[in-house]
Structure formats: C-alpha cells, structure tokens
Amino acid sequence: MTTLAFIGLGIMGSPMAGHLVDAGFDVVGHNRSPERTRPLVERGGRAAGSVAEAVRDADVVALMLPDSPDVEAVMLGDDGVLAHAPTGALVVDFSSIRPDVTRSLAATAAEHGASLVDAPVSGGEAGAIDAALSIMVGGNVADVARARPVLDAVGRTVVHVGPSGAGQTVKAANQLVVAGHLQLLAEAVVFLEAHGVDTEAALEVLGGGLAGSKVLQAKGAGMRSRSFDPGFRIDLHHKDLGIVTSAAREAGVVVPLGGMLAQLMASARAQGDGSLDHSALLRGVLRASGRDLSAPRPETSTP
C-alpha cells in the first residue's frame, strides 16, 4: 500500500483525501486547523500533528493549499516536505499558484532528490466530492506517469499539458474564462430580473443554446436565489486573477477583460464578499445597478 501524505484538508482537500483512501492509499493527513482531519480519520485515514510527521514515511505528498506563499512554506520550511520526506518522494501539488513559483519549487525538489508535479484542478467543491475534477498536469513524462493513480482517484479529466509550470498556466487561463462567464451570467440575471422575466425559464432556454455553459448550469440557480455558500470563494478567485494579470504581463500579452475582471473581483472583496462563492459577483452588478441585494419575490413584475 502506497503511503500518501495529504497537506491541506479544506473544502477541496478533504473530499479528495477521502477518495484516495477509497482508492487504497494509506493516507496521512495534516491541516493547520487540526479538527479538519476528522472526516479523513472517519473515512479510514490517519491524522498527523505536523507536516514533518505526515511526510516522514510518505511515497507521495499531495498538497492542496491556498496560495504560492503557503506552498513555499510547506515545501521549504524547517518542518516542511523537503526537509523530512524520504528521498525519491513524489510531490503532487493540487494548489493553484504562480507558474514561476512552481518551476522554482520543482528545481529545488530535484536538488533534494524529490520530484514535483503541478496538478491544479477545476470543478469546485462539487467536483471534489464527486471525484470529477478536471486536472491540468505539468511535469516530466515519468513523474506524471507515476502520479497517474493519484490523479485518476480524484479527477475525471486528467491531461498532461506540458513541462513543470504548464499546469499552473492552464489553470490561470481556466480561471480567466470562468470569471468572464460568471460576470456575464450575473449581468444577464440582473438584466432579466429588471424586465420581470421568469429567470428560471430564461436560464433554461439560454442553457440549451450557444450561451449555455457549465458555469450557467452550476451557478445560475444560486444567483437567482442569492445563495452563495462557497464552492470556490471570491478570495481565491481574486488570487487567481492576480496570477493571470501577472503572468500575462511577464509574457508580454494583453488581457483587457482579464484586467477588468480582476478589478471587479477585488471590488467584491472590498465590499466584504470575499468569503462568498465567486458567483457572488452578482452582488456587484446589483450594487452598481442600484438594486436590492436580496432575491426578488416570485411575483416581481417589471418596475
């Protein structure tokens, strides 16, 4: 049985670690908030009190952390992965971080006799729970092949997109597209409501045409009801759009709508919506339109 350390048991990491237990891995989990290890233990995994304890006997180390500094701290710290994992360990980083940070960490891991594969995911909490994530994988062919059983246990669409850092680059592009879909869907919902249209019926027919998307399917109902329980928080999407704009500038390309989306996401955070689902971009459209933030009653008619 392969021993796998899983660091970061949040909204996404917890169900992913559970699927790895189900797939036959001996999973040792660690989280900064120790109570988050309870679901893993109940599913058959084990809990560790520190990163060092979790990775000490691990063949594979999986990371699902919020941002680049968190991954750097866990990888490079005195209590971290490279200081305590066995020689030859494979690190699978499911976090969404800067591509240049990933490339640097991969090089440092190699110096310590370890390997790193970047494997950011898309699909949100629902995809993590259903083991249906889309995973964009960067790294060399041999390391990706070695990581494949881990990736297949948590994802449905697993694609090797290039060398180290390529997975993070594709994830940044994914977040750019998703943010654009969310903002346009939010504007459409507010537009429809302002005209007294039955938004449930409207989104159904829109979803069957060229305007249809997974974003509409997954987020339309929540926008209509103003239900923004976080599947993926605005705080995290704000971080990801920062990665997009920074990487675009580094590459010398322009992303005009990406820059605007980054500002709209930053505005949502400034308004106190950072802990809400990213579909709460709707609230920004409502504010800008002078509309009530609460859901309209069914009998709402054209103003």
The set of catalytic residues is 171
Task: Provide the 10 A C-beta neighbour count for residue 53.
Answer: 16
Q: Are 124 and 232 in contact (CB under 8 A)?
A: yes
Residue whose token pair is 């991969």:
106
Task: Provide the 10 A C-beta neighbour count for residue 184.
Answer: 17
DSSP assigned state of 159: E
Task: Provide the 10 A C-beta neighbour count for residue 107.
Answer: 11
The answer for residues whose C-beta is within 8 angstroms of residue 61's C-beta and 6 or more apart is: 4, 5, 7, 54, 55, 81, 85, 89, 90, 91, 92
The answer for residues whose C-beta is within 8 angstroms of residue 136's C-beta and 6 or more apart is: 119, 120, 121, 122, 159, 161, 166, 167, 168, 170, 171, 174
Residue whose token pair is 């109902």:
221
Tallying the residues shown for the chain, one arrives at 303
Task: Provide the 10 A C-beta neighbour count for residue 241.
Answer: 25
